[in-house]
Every structure is written in structure tokens, then in C-alpha cells.
Structure 1
């Protein structure tokens, strides 16, 4: 029960009404502590404190230099301009890739004798201790990158946030920045992290408080007898429902779960909104709030810092927060949520024709229950109807939807994390690159090839295909082994009741746990999840499956949104390397 609560799985191995008040409070606290938004708030505050610690160290060092009589240096002053080194566009340069994470840049004119050879030996996560050799070499690399990248034509400047000669490419990578310009960038990032460390907790607390007050008060005033029949306080029951909905657990302290409220519009609408706001549409709601604040901000000099901060968050969300995505990816996430929930909703309404329990509901509530169950299947975990009474085809659809429930957010998070691509050796661009003297062909064959069939290594389509393939291979082993061992352990129960302990019901329970959903077929005569009648060893296996499933949404490679300022050198190396490697691997005419 504790694993189920903190992972958001929501499967009840005992009847909810048998829990003591202390046990209910423990479940309530674990539901909150395991919520992904609360965990992300912790990461934001850790990054904010790390920035503050770094800036305090810089201020202390400057104060010491001033006390000793030395002039305080200007942190934002260029230490070397383009005239203090020979690397200009008139000198031919040779760029060769040593490895997927290393570059070697040297002057073809040996008389000048300028070379720059960082040569990191391993990935970004192991190169945090590397530092730029000196300011002269760094400025040399800056000039070289600018000369190499400007012809690509799709790179943007940094003038919107701070003055520099650097450029910005896909996934918010900043290239060709000097040390002073990197300091400016970290200053902008710090302000963005500071803003999010305030707005995200407000978002989290606001939805929780409104949900608790709304559900608790409604149940107290409208249906107090339902929880009292289970020996529960109406307000406490409503509060537990609201928290469970927002954290997408599906765990309730009513034995009947949401079937007791299947003909009540307010709890269905409120909890449906909480399910969306707490998980699948959280990145979309948060971006909408920030976008609205930016649009309402007055265009006055006094508000310039705020405008720059919000613009940076909206333009480069994945540099500052794991669950905030660019506009295009956010719309993609909205579309997938609508499509998947629409399929579940339509499946419920169509495949429930002839089902006496469903058809006995008033038409309006039948439609509303179908929508709520569709929202709950992908993450919420609540049951507004008896799951075991649904048609077999609908249960198969629910199995598929529970399995793919985290995919939209997972793929979006990984697709916008450039270091995930680096782990696969991919340096793709967002737009088609081609030589300015060669126009792309628009005939049908080439269009089909470019947009449907092309999965060339190094492209975004190849990256998505690799991510899905890897995810499937990782998932299927856990699910297959869990079903195999649980089926062996429960073979004695299967002999007694082959229908109740069918392999499909076991598969349904395992996927519900792995997807951290919580919907269960249950067991006849018992008000608990199907796993509640399993042997202890089977429950332990399911707990391990739930823990593994809870973490499958994490990025494979290090994420820019969780990097500390002490790792800025490693990030700078990675971005400068990508600038050259993409130019080499993508090249003119590639997609």
C-alpha cells in the first residue's frame, strides 16, 4: 500500500474502509510526497541555491580583490577581441571529429601556431571537471564557430536576452559564447529558475487547496451519508479524493471508489480537471499561465527584466525546467491528450452498448462517466463503473492505453533534451538544411521520402524511432517476467478459479501497476484491487514493477534543466562540440 501510494499507482491491496485514521494519514502524506510536481519543485530550489552560492563566491572574490587594492574586473567585459588572435574567416580551418563527444580544431596555417584541443574523453556527465584552457583559446573557438555556423541560416542571435556574438540552435543550445557571455547566460537562467521556484509551488498549492476545499465541502453538503456509511468524515473523504486525483493515484478511502458518485456532475468535473492539471496537461497549463503573464506585462522600462525572464522561459523552457516544453511540443502534447482520451471515450460509449449496468445510467451521466473513465484510464486510476463488468474489447483497449499513458510526456521530454540525442550520437536540426544554390525537389516521390520514409541516422525521426524502440524493449521485459512469475505463484488459485485468476486479469493488473495507473478488475465479492487476493510474493513482485514503472519517465541522459552551475563548463563543452559535429554530420542537403 505504501509503494502504491508513493509511486502514484493507486492499487489497494486491502479494503479501504479497514484502514485506520493513522494509516489513511500515512497514505495521504505519501501521495503528496511522491508527486512529480513536488519533486520538480525540490530540483528548482536546489538549482536556485546553487546559483546563489556561486554568485556569492564571485562577489566574495571581488570584495577581496578590492580590499587588497586591486581594481575589480568587469565580469562582463570581453577579455580578448577578435584582433588579439589570428583566427579569422580569411584563414582556412580544418575541423575533424575525434569522437562523438570530442572535437579537434586547429589552424591550417602552421605559422600562426594557434590550436585548441579540448578532447573530452567521455560524455557530458563525466566531463564536469574540464575547464576552458584559456580565454584566448576560448575566443578563438568562438570566432571559428561563428564563421562555420552562420552559413547554416537558421541560427538565431542572443540579443533578445543579452548582447553577445553567440548563436542559438535547436533545443536551446547556445554556441560561440565567451566566458563573460556565459556568465550573462547563467544570470538570465538564474532569474528564470527563481521565477519558476515561486510560480510552480503556487500552481501546486493552488490546485490542491481548491480541490480539497471544493470536494470536501461538496461531499459534506450534498452526500455526507455515503462516507459516513464507511465510518469516514465527509470532508476528509473529499479531501483524499482531491489529492489522489491531482497526484494521479486513483486511491480512495471509499470502498466503492468513484462508483458512489457516478451520477454527480460536480465531483466528476472537478476531479477530471485535477487529473489533467496534475499530470498529462500540467506542462500545457503551466506554459499557458506563463504565456498569459507575459502578454499582460506592460511594455515599460521598469518591466524589462521580467519581460526578458519570461521570454527566456517561453523560448528555452528545457534549460530551466524538466516539465516545460517549447510551443510546438506543447501543442503536440495537447493533441495527443485529446486523441488518446477521445479514443478511450468513444470506446467506452460504443463498447458499452448492450451493457445493462452502463445503459441503466441517464444518458447525460453515461456520457460524463465515459469521459471521466477515459481520463482515469491514462493516469487517474479511478473507477466510476465496475471494471470487471465492462466488455472484453474495452478492457483490451484500456490495457493498451495504460501502457502508453506516459509516452507523450516521456517522448516530448526526451526529444527536447539535447543530451539524450548526444547519447545516441544524433545531431539533428529542426529544419531542413540545404545548399543555398540548390532548391529542394517538390515532386511526390521526394516528399514521401523526406516526410514519411526517411529515417536516416542523425535525423529527428531516427531519434524518435530509437527512443520508442528502446522504451519498448525495456518495458516488455519487466512486464513479461512479472506476468510469468506471478502466473506461476498464483497457479494454485488459478486451479480453483480459472476465471477470476485468468492470465488476462494478471496482465491487466501488472500493466496498471507499471503504468502507475491503478485501475483494476478487482475480485468478485471483495472491495479491493485484484492484487489484494494474491500471495505475498506476487505482491512484492508487483511492488517492484510499480517502482520500475514510476521511473521509466526519466530522461536517459543528463538533463539541462537539472544541471548545476558547477557543471556549466561541461555544458559549454557539449554545446560547442555540437555546433561543429552537427555541421559535419548534417551538412548541406541533409534533413
Structure 2
């Protein structure tokens, strides 16, 4: 038990998402205490790491009154640690991260409150589990719900959040990088031929999704429940964002003939004859 606890904490903080169970974190969706412990590990290990790092240094400066901490806060660029950001950037990063979490949390609760994913859970368990799920949608990818039954609208929202880099922030124009000599915004020069050939990250993701659709076109035709554009998009973006969300497989509905028979309210016998229920 101790080994499992240490393993889970370290994996969550490092955003690895390794959970030594067959069902990820779904076996713990009715354990709010454990989820409350893991939620800070997710955000502190990724999105809010620079914000809390600067906050920790500020607290140490106030407590110890040492000049070294004040120097670190004022000369963060000279330190050469890329996670040490300016005070403004760190604050805006925190506001942005909590804004995304709040938006996802409200929409997730409104969309999935009475869904199959939350069957058997009380109100408090639903709230904590929903918060844990949306916090994990940008990074660690630990899931307490069966994502295959989550609504397509929410999965598309997860796709957007998984695509965003961890240090995404709504930075006002006056805080953007400026030229050190005249204080004006730097202008982009002409791109070289090689730079013009380089596509954006979104372009590569679209190309990857198209290639997967081409290679799996037969399965998309035979098993549209498990192989469709939404599932492929989620898998591709999840891999790119290092999240690791998986939609799973709907095993009992793999065969298209069986799905069609079930839709008509008929039973499919061993010899292929369909009989009304």
C-alpha cells in the first residue's frame, strides 16, 4: 500500500499518469479524500509550477528577509531557469489556468451530472470527481470516468484543452517581449525558404489525424462506434499533449450487423438469422 501511494503521488506530480490498475483511477471515483490529495499534485507539477515557484520564493523572502530571494525575484532572467517567470506572467498564468478549470468544471457538471458515468455517486463525490477529471484534461490524463460514455461536446472541449501548451496565458500586449534598446515591439523579419516550409503544430496534428483515418478506413466502416473521427481526434491530440486520455472500446457492439439488429429490436442467432424479441 505504501509503495502504491508513493508511486501514485510521484506519477501524478510528474504528469506521467501511470496508475497500476486495470481501470486507471475509476476504481477511486468514490474516494474524494484521495482525489483531493492528487488534484494539487497535477497542477503544481505542470501548469501552475512557475506561479507557485515564484510564490514560494516570495514567502521565503518575507519569512527569512534574505537578499538572495529578492534578487531571484527581480533578476529571474539572469538565473537562467526557464520556469522562473516574471511576476506579471506568473500571475496571469495562474488566472488563466484557474479560468480554464472553472469553465470546464461548470460545463462538465452541467453536461454529465445525470449521465451513466456518474451512476451510483452522491453529490459530493460527483463534484470532487468532476473537478479531478477536468484538472487532468490538460496534463496527467488520470481518469475517474469512462470516457467512452462522456458526451461528444465535452470530449471536444477536452481536445481543445489538451492541445493548449502548459504555459498558455492571456498576456496583454503591453507585457509582450520588447526590444531592449527602444522598448518597441519586435517586428518579425522575412522568413527563410526552410521556415516557410515548416507548418504549424496544428497542421501536423490535422495531417496525423487524416493519416490515421486513411490507415483505419476499413475499421471505421466496419466498427464506427469505436473507430470514428472524434475518437481518432481525441487519441491524436491526447498523444500530442502528453495527456494519455483513452476512450476505450465498446466490446459488446463491435459487429455492425449486431448493432443493426439491436437497433431493430431483434436477436442475432448463431446461424445469422435475426428473430424479433
TM-score by length of 1: 0.38
* Distance (Å, rounded) in 1 between the aligned partners of 2:18 and 2:26: 13
Match runs of 1:445-524 below 5 Å: 458-459=184-185, 474-524=200-250
Q: Which residue of 2 aligns with 1:406?
A: 166
Give the counterpart of 1:367 among 105, 127, 131.
127
Q: Deviations over 1:437-462 (max 9, x none)?
A: xxxxxxxxxxxxxxxxxxxxx538x8
Structure 1 residue 318 corresponds to structure 2 residue 44: no
Check conservation: 2:26, 2:144, Cα contact below 8 A.
Answer: yes
* Distance (Å, rounded) in 2 between the aligned partners of 1:280 and 1:416: 20
CA RMSD of aligned residues (A): 2.8
Q: Which runs of 5+ in 2 are unaligned?
A: 189-195, 253-277
What is the Cα deviation at residue 275 of structure 1?
A: 0.7
Q: Which residue of 1 aligns with 2:265?
A: none
Check conservation: 2:14, 2:45, Cα contact below 8 A.
Answer: yes
Q: Which residue of 1 aligns with 2:255?
A: none
Judging changes above 3 Å, is the alpha-carbon distance between structure 1 residues 253 and 427 closer, same or farther for their aligned structure 2 residues? farther
Q: Which residue of 1 aligns with 2:11?
A: 244
Judging changes above 3 Å, is the alpha-carbon distance between structure 1 residues 480 and 428 closer, same or farther for their aligned structure 2 residues? farther
Check conservation: 2:93, 2:167, Cα contact below 8 A.
Answer: no
What is the Cα deviation at residue 366 of structure 1?
A: 0.3
* Distance (Å, rounded) in 1 between the aligned partners of 2:88 and 2:128: 30
Q: Which residue of 1 aligns with 2:148?
A: 388
Q: Give the paired residue count.
A: 241
Q: Deviations over 1:327-355 (max 9, x none)?
A: 11111011001100111111110111431
Q: Which residue of 1 aligns with 2:193?
A: none
Check conservation: 1:275, 1:380, Cα contact below 8 A.
Answer: yes
Runs of at least 4 residues off by over 3 Å = 415-418, 426-429
Q: Which residue of 2 aligns with 1:34?
A: none
* Distance (Å, rounded) in 2 between the aligned partners of 1:297 and 1:244: 32
Give the counterpart of 2:28 among 257, 261, 269.
261
> SS of 1:511's equivalent?
helix
What is the Cα deviation at residue 428 of structure 1?
A: 6.9
Q: Which residue of 2 aligns with 1:291?
A: 58
Q: Which residue of 1 aligns with 2:267?
A: none
Judging changes above 3 Å, is the alpha-carbon distance between structure 1 residues 251 and 428 closer, same or farther for their aligned structure 2 residues? farther
Q: Which runs of 5+ in 1 are unaligned?
A: 1-219, 221-234, 299-305, 430-457, 464-469, 527-591
Judging changes above 3 Å, is the alpha-carbon distance between structure 1 residues 374 and 254 closer, same or farther for their aligned structure 2 residues? same
Judging changes above 3 Å, is the alpha-carbon distance between structure 1 residues 476 and 428 closer, same or farther for their aligned structure 2 residues? farther
What is the Cα deviation at residue 416 of structure 1?
A: 8.3
Give the counterpart of 1:351 among 111, 132, 136.
111
Match runs of 1:25-424 below 5 Å: 220=1, 235-298=2-65, 306-307=66-67, 309-320=68-79, 321-408=81-168
* Distance (Å, rounded) in 2 between the aligned partners of 1:490 and 1:236: 40
> SS of 2:45's equivalent?
helix
Check conservation: 1:250, 1:519, Cα contact below 8 A.
Answer: no
Q: Deviations over 1:209-241 (max 9, x none)?
A: xxxxxxxxxxx3xxxxxxxxxxxxxx3333322
